Structure 1
Amino acid sequence: MTHDSSAGADASLSGAQALVAQFAARGVKRIYGVPGGDCSLDIIAAAHEAGIAFVLARTESAAAMMAAAEAELTDSLGVLLTTRGPGLANGVNGVACAMLDRCGIVVISDGYENEQAFVSHQRFDQQRMLEPVTKGALRVDSPQALPAVGPLLDLALARPRGPVYLEVTGQGMRNKVPASSLPVQPARQAPLPAHPADAVAAASKLMAHARRPVVIAGLQTREAGAAQGLRDLAAAWQCPVFSTYMGKGALPDADPRMMGLFMAGGAEDEAMKSADLIVTYGLDPIELLPKPWRYGAPVLELSTHPFGRNHFTPAVALVGDLGAAAAQLGEGLGRSGWQADELKALKSHMQARAVAEGAGITPTLLAQTACRLLPQRARITVDAGAHMLPVMAFFDAAAPRDVLISRGLATMAYALPTAIGAALADPSRPVVAFTGDGGLMMCASELATAVQAVCKLTVVVFNDSAIAMIGVKQGQRGLERRGMDYSPSDFSLVAQGYGCQGLRVSEPAELGAALQRAFAADGPALVDVIVDPSTYPAQLRSLRG
């Protein structure tokens, strides 16, 4: 579609207005960022005119994660706005997170005008800095360059999704062009390819002969129709299904065929090594730990796109629509050799391996209690760190995107910003962010963003005054403990300082009531829980091997 011609043939738009029109056509509701004093101001003003809100974050990296969360949950474009130089540089970690976690966002920053070649202040090659973590870039020196913006935004949403960079100048944003010269249309996404008949036949043959098949569901199960295709296939085949962290919920955790999480070498190892066929369903190698593939069974790979690097060479690969592939392969498929009692025993085994008991408030106790008391339809976000092991094990997901977690970049300081983006993108669902103390300290100022944006979210802090996961690995290598411990912090007081409800728990008897009080709060709340990290080494060995 194009701009409404009723305004007259001589109607004109500023570059900023034309840019914002492209966002509106793609369903953008919010822009996240930390502005500067040049082009940011024009874009914020144009966005307000178009009904697109600007969310002022406290850091650019967190703003990028908020934009990525909104893109993920709305299946549209996320927008990050920064100023040049230090603003853009500070956002790079969040942009890298969007790149490796497959989220389509556009990163906007201003650049110097062409006639300002003499300037050195805050100047470096911004496009080159972002090149490894973006799919494409465009510089807009004048509104005449704006017709290329639409294809750039489409590139962000093309599979695999990821960030693109848009560098704008004052002339590009403030000069005017005829509205009729700038086509504005919704995102155009290339259709997924049809599956070749010979590949489908080869895949069907593998599946028909498999008696002990195992399915691993990955992040691509968030695509439309993919989760339902997996559910129908698992029901027909009656085989065990594991999921990656980002694939959790594709098959509900309550389903008797959903065994638990795939970590490539822990609790699921026996089942994987006994399999005579492994089906990777939407698994992206970016989700896997950096260790060799250790299973000898042939692999049938179902994916929406090919990969430049992979952990295995599939016997057969089907690239295209996952739901369509599942429907084709499930037609006439008989049940596997797995028996119901075997599946029940395997699932019980997986659940038992996740438990690590100890005195006081253990990570297991906190995760189990919090997950049991979560508000109805709660969505959770999970930071990187040792606490993610029990949280991911004990949270029951019913659908894709019930859990948001970074596994491509696996960055700390992810859970809180992502919870803010999720709460704004889908206010119908309460959001609970699970974080370690280290991750929260990297982004604690975003509690103020949650208050200012009136988000309905709760932050649960596993406070052990340490970088627990790295400390465990230090011990596994037989090294003396050094550089792993923080000075104690009271995050309940930090939260109160930013305007959140802040609670602190150090005794098991206080835990349930504090969590319930926080979950019932009208606005942002934080529960700072003092946990004993001594059970982490055993839990890590049990789950990851």
Structure 2
Amino acid sequence: MSRTVARVMIDALEELGVRHVFGVVGDALNPFTDAVRASGSVEWVGCRHEEAAAFAAGAQSQLTDTLGVCMGTVGPGSVHLLNGLYDAAKSGTPVLAVAGQVPLAEVGTDYFQEVDNDLLFRDVAVFRATVTSAEQMPGLLEIAVRTAIGRRGVAVLTVPGDIGDQELPADRPARLSVAGSANRPDDPVLDEAADALRDGGKVTMLVGRGARGAREDVLALADRLAAPMVLTLKAKEGFEGDNPYQVGQTGLIGNPAAAHAMDGADTLLLLGTDFPYREWYPEGKKVVQVDRVAEHIGRRVPVDVALAADVGPTVRGLLERLERRKDREHLDDAREKFGTWQQGQQRLAAPGHDRGLIGKVRSAFDNRDHLVRPEALAAAVDVLAADDAVFTSDTGMATVWLSRFVEMRGSRRLLGSYNLGSMANAMPQAIGAQLLDPDRQVVAFCGDGGLGMLLGDLMTVRSRRLPVKLVVFDNQRLGMVKLEQEQAGLPEFGTELDNPDFAAVAEALGITGIRVSRAEDLAEGVSRAFATPGPVLLDVLTNPEEIAVPAKPTIQQGWGFAIAKIRENLTSPGGR
């Protein structure tokens, strides 16, 4: 019995284990959405914007380490996928995008809605092709999926509107399975790396997402080297909880203890990270780097010993060659500084902070309206969220507060646009995560700017009755941009947002909305949000003047901030 091109594709994705296809329906996709309708286990998730569909597919891919799938129809529908696909590409996660196209005979004629998809997706995709005949399937599908999985990126298949319903013989099913393998460096390179670490003085480890699958081995190596462990944001998941060696993050969202651990080391060991901010790497250190992607090695900081291999087998090879160090001073010093910093942060987040003497003085300068401090909101969520919750966060200040006040303990997961840095990712990523497991708690840290950008997909949350908890840091600002302007000595401009009452918007859509505007109501509001079944939007009016002090604040930043504040008060009617 013959099957259509669309049915061959959906049957193959079903066999691969794909459970959801995200998109917006449209003419060129009709054969594919009909094949999904007839499928036994693949479910169509209709979004309100294709960008949200691509973010959701990428989220599922990251959480399952398998293929995510999204679709966009002819022209604008495919164009809208692009930002979410860039996020998947820069996150190194496999996603298949099926893009509609005008009928084959009209390609190249500037037909209504025609877009050159092969050109459009050229930069974002590790594989892209236009299906020009039914006979090319399922071969092109197999190449696309294997390339996406093997190279951990985006594959785009463009299908003209008159191809999807053409029929193929049933004797050629698609075969999409891909077997992975772990690479170990050769012994001479392991010997060289072990010598560098053994004789390299004080060692600090910078650990990234690529090491998450080797947690116990990495912790054993930290103990062996008496090395403090600085974590990238993506390595919070997997390495933060129950880790006696970690000292938090470095960089703009980091802390002084991590910066001290980096600066005070003689040798840096980079494990599975492509941490991009060159200014945060100290100079004059010996550097050993392990990364399975060879082209990542040395592109941020000069490397003395390069190991292009998987972290797990590499670390196990190093453990075989290294003895446990007796001198623990470097590790103990970094951990002590980290503990002191954490205690200070918890004081800032305490519910009664602004009622104390220091808090009252501080509020007179930076919180005259007595709005909720975002630190307190993030800390309250951390306490009430489940130990297996999935967190998503919008780029900007929402991520800063999550990074500092939410601990990735237990089996918590973390998603964000941490490589692309897009706005508006938290809610659609939460949609993808919640669909994977309706019974698992999913918490989205939404910026008010990000939520507003893709606000329409609140209707997707409502229509699917997804029990996500959307926590909105509503400071009426593009907060990170405001901070960047002020640190540069510029008065705030263009960052103010005239927001609606997001809780009322949620209620109008059939979602429970809770609005908190006073610190004394925060605990009750957060508790009610987590106790309420189904989807909840918690809209918290947070202080827009809150400052996230970086790990190594500079005199220039402080001076610039002071100048900016003077300018703002001179230009604002009546000051602030």
- Alignment match, 1:174: 165
* In structure 1, C-alpha distance between the alignment counterparts of 2:160 and 2:126, rounded to whole Å: 21
Which residues in structure 2 correspond to 1:522-533 (within 5 Å)?
522-533=533-544
Which residues in structure 2 correspond to 1:54-93 (within 5 Å)?
54-93=44-83
Higher relative contact order (CA 8 A, sep 6+): 1
* In structure 1, C-alpha distance between the alignment counterparts of 2:322 and 2:467, rounded to whole Å: 45
Q: Secondary structure at the match of 2:206?
A: strand
Structure 1 length-normalised TM: 0.91
* In structure 2, C-alpha distance between the alignment counterparts of 1:424 and 1:411, rounded to whole Å: 22
Q: Secondary structure at the match of 1:94?
A: helix
1:476 to 472, 483, 487: 487
Name the aligned partner's letter for residue 402 of structure 1.
R
C-alpha displacement at 1:472, in angstroms?
A: 1.1
Q: Secondary structure at the match of 1:311?
A: coil
Contact 1:215 1:242 in 2 (8 A): yes
- Alignment match, 1:408: 419
Contact 2:262 2:281 in 1 (8 A): no
Cα shift readout 1:36-91 (whole Å, capped 9, x = no counterpart)? 122x1211221233320000111111110100011111111100111111111122
- Alignment match, 2:445: 434
The alignment status of 1:184 with 2:172, answered yes or no, reads no
- Alignment match, 2:377: 366
Name the aligned partner's letter for residue 152 of structure 1.
A
CA separation of 1:237/1:399 partners in 2, compared to 1, >3 Å: closer, same or farther?
Answer: farther
C-alpha displacement at 1:114, in angstroms?
A: 2.7
What count of residue pairs does the alignment treat as equivalent?
528
Cα shift readout 1:314-356 (whole Å, capped 9, x = no counterpart)? 1111122211111111125233433464243132144257565
Which residues in structure 2 correspond to 1:192-341 (within 5 Å)?
192-222=182-212, 225-263=213-251, 267=256, 268-285=258-275, 288-289=276-277, 291=279, 293-307=281-295, 310-336=299-325, 337-339=327-329, 341=332
Name the aligned partner's letter for residue 19 of structure 1.
M
C-alpha displacement at 1:185, in angstroms?
A: 3.8
CA separation of 1:168/1:406 partners in 2, compared to 1, >3 Å: closer, same or farther?
Answer: same
Name the aligned partner's letter for residue 141 of structure 1.
T
* In structure 2, C-alpha distance between the alignment counterparts of 1:182 and 1:32, rounded to whole Å: 23
350-359 or 324-333, which deviates more: 350-359
- Alignment match, 2:478: 467
- Percent identical residues: 27
Q: Unaligned regions of 5+ residues in structure 1, if any?
A: 1-10
Q: Secondary structure at the match of 1:387?
A: helix
* In structure 2, C-alpha distance between the alignment counterparts of 1:171 and 1:123, rounded to whole Å: 14
* In structure 2, C-alpha distance between the alignment counterparts of 1:440 and 1:89, rounded to whole Å: 21
- Alignment match, 1:163: 154
Cα shift readout 1:458-503 (whole Å, capped 9, x = no counterpart)? 0111111111111111111222222111114211011112221100
Contact 2:104 2:162 in 1 (8 A): no
- Alignment match, 1:452: 463
* In structure 1, C-alpha distance between the alignment counterparts of 2:115 and 2:477, rounded to whole Å: 36
Contact 1:353 1:542 in 2 (8 A): no
Contact 1:260 1:350 in 2 (8 A): no
Contact 2:193 2:288 in 1 (8 A): yes
- Alignment match, 1:143: 134
Contact 1:230 1:251 in 2 (8 A): no
Q: Unaligned regions of 5+ residues in structure 2, if any?
A: 349-358, 364-369, 558-576
Structure 2 length-normalised TM: 0.87
2:435 to 424, 433, 436: 424
C-alpha displacement at 1:253, in angstroms?
A: 3.1
Contact 1:140 1:166 in 2 (8 A): yes
* In structure 1, C-alpha distance between the alignment counterparts of 2:92 and 2:224, rounded to whole Å: 30
Contact 2:398 2:447 in 1 (8 A): yes
Cα shift readout 1:88-107 (whole Å, capped 9, x = no counterpart)? 11221111111111121011
Q: Secondary structure at the match of 1:121?
A: coil
Q: Secondary structure at the match of 1:107?
A: strand
Cα shift readout 1:240-276 (whole Å, capped 9, x = no counterpart)? 1111111112323332211111327852222211101
Contact 1:150 1:184 in 2 (8 A): yes
118-127 or 464-473, which deviates more: 118-127
Contact 1:353 1:543 in 2 (8 A): no
Cα shift readout 1:163-201 (whole Å, capped 9, x = no counterpart)? 111101234311111121344242344x34331221111
C-alpha displacement at 1:399, in angstroms?
A: 6.0
Q: Secondary structure at the match of 1:445?
A: helix
Cα shift readout 1:216-262 (whole Å, capped 9, x = no counterpart)? 1112134xx32333233223333211111111123233322111113
2:8 to 18, 43, 66: 18
